[in-house]
Amino acid sequence: MRNTTVLICGGSIAGPTLAYWLHRHGFGPTVVERAPGLRPGGQAIDIRGTALEVVDRMGILDEARQAATHLAGMSFVDADGTEVMRSTEATLTGGVIDNPDVEIMRDDLTGLLYRQTKDTVEYVFDDTITALVEDDNGVTVTFEYTPARRFDLVIGADGLHSAVRALTFGPEKDFLTDLGTYLSVFSTPNFLGLEHWETFHRDGEKMVGYYTARQNSEARGMFGFRSEPVAYDRRDTRQQMQLVEDTFVDTGWETQRLLKAMWAAPDFYFDMMSQVKMDSWSNGRVSLVGDAGYAASPLSGQGTSLALVGAYVLAAELKAAGGDHQAGFAAYESKLRYFVEQNQGLVSAADGPPAPEVLAAAATSLTLD
């Protein structure tokens, strides 16, 4: 086996999943994560189709089902809080309720993946990559804090704003497609007393959402709006909060309570909804997996599944190639490209989520070996 030492940048979903399978296949993975620990918070995410098989093969599907949101339905209300629509057949975040998919909070899934890998994978928290220098025998990696190290291969699993992609392929503006929508999600107490339920209020191009999590012990607040490109500092959380408040200050329903909760949230998230489209996900000894290489955006409902399946396929193809990175990376791209295109294609100019049968077809458009 060649090229056995692999540095993975990113410790959310794609990174730990890749590390698990690389270790299983005889490689020595190291995961570096910018955050000081596992990142808290995040929205409800979905494991669908082929991704369910990946999680099952990892031995954590039953635990994922136990931690699922178990949402029973959704409603839409007007500015006064009067219900105008109710469904117990589907939810906006998870789709059709009666199906084998698993909707789970993002940090619950990352916790499962970490516990499944922490004893066999080296994790380096509170650090990030600042430079990559490749030669014929490997890659010298410079970190922000820890001393430089040598690895055979480097994999960027560091999300939409990937540092690895920027260092290897160029600025993100060359690869990101802005979908014209912005999303904010944060934890909040379940002050509405909902039980396995989600409620939304739409006001023109703006939408406010609220849904329960972890057996109704807490909730998630959500603000989404369509807009022309908005200038903001991606590292300035307070500026982003102010942007959200200014956008929703006159919105009805429970919006003012949610804005107040937003300012107190320890895990505020805000970003534009974008897709990453690249002609190739690999360059030399460096490759990308998950959102870093082919983000579909939360609007697709398939970002998590793409990360899980992509990590599995990348590890499997490196194993099949005996660690030959050129052959392994090429096979990874060849096998996964159609799956990525089908799932990115779920996002269209039309409002609303894709039809259940269309989503199911995309989610199962790849068969694992």
Mean pLDDT of 339-345: 96
Give the pLDDT band (50/70/90) at residue 276. very high
Rounded to whole angstroms, what are the CA distances from 75 to 78, 106, 161, 208, 306? 10, 23, 33, 12, 29
**258-273 pLDDT tens trace:** 999 999 999 999 999 9
E strand residue ranges, the chain = 5-9, 28-33, 44-47, 73-77, 83-87, 90-91, 95-96, 102-105, 122-125, 129-135, 138-143, 149-151, 153-156, 176-188, 197-203, 206-213, 218-226, 269-276, 282-283, 286-288
| CATH fold label, 71-100+180-272 | D-Amino Acid Oxidase; Chain A, domain 2 (3.30.9)
Q: Tell me phi and psi for residue 126, to 5 degrees.
A: 60, 40
Residue 298 to residue 289: CA distance in whole angstroms: 16
Secondary structure of residue 32 in the 3-state scheme: strand
The total of other beta-carbon atoms located within 10 Å of residue 41's CB is: 17
The percent of residues above 70 in pLDDT, for the chain, comes to: 99
**Quick one: pLDDT at residue 350?**
52
Architecture of domain 5-65+103-175+275-363: 3-Layer(bba) Sandwich (3.50)
**pLDDT reported for residue 353:** 75
Residue 11 tokens, joined: 């410790």
Strands (E), 24-72: 28-33, 44-47
Q: pLDDT digit string (tens) for 126-138? A: 999 999 999 999 9
Helix axes 237-248, 255-264, angle to 10 degrees: 170
Domain ranges of the chain: 5-65+103-175+275-363, 71-100+180-272
- The pTM of the whole model exceeds 0.95: yes
Reported as a single tens digit per residue, the pLDDT across 95-129 is 999 899 999 999 999 999 999 999 999 999 999 99
The pLDDT confidence band at residue 92, using thresholds 50, 70 and 90, is very high
Residue 351 pLDDT grade (very low, low, confident, very high; cuts 50, 70, 90)? low
Length of the chain equals 369
C-alpha closest to that of 103 among 94, 114, 95, 112: 94
pLDDT greater than 90 at residue 349: no
* pLDDT tens per residue, range 210-257: 999 999 999 999 999 999 999 999 999 999 999 999 999 999 999 999
Of residues 326, 324, 315, the one with CA closest to residue 369: 315
What are 133-188's pLDDT values in tens digits? Answer: 999 999 999 999 999 999 999 999 999 999 999 999 999 999 999 999 999 999 99
Number of DSSP helices (H) and strands (E) in the chain, helices first: 11, 20
Dig out the tokens for 15 from the structure.
């990174």
pLDDT for the residue 348: 75
* Chain segment 192-212, per-residue pLDDT in tens: 999 999 999 999 999 999 999
Residue 352 reports pLDDT greater than 70? no
What is the residue-averaged pLDDT of the chain? 96
Phi, psi of 232 (to 5 degrees): -160, 160
User: Which pLDDT band holds residue 354 (cuts at 50, 70, 90)?
Assistant: confident
Q: What is the pLDDT of residues 284-294, one digit of tens each?
A: 999 999 999 99
| Helices 325-344, 356-363: crossing angle, 10 deg rounding | 180
For 312, list phi and psi in degrees, rounded to 5. Answer: -60, -50
* Pick from 254, 275, 248: nearest CA to 172: 275
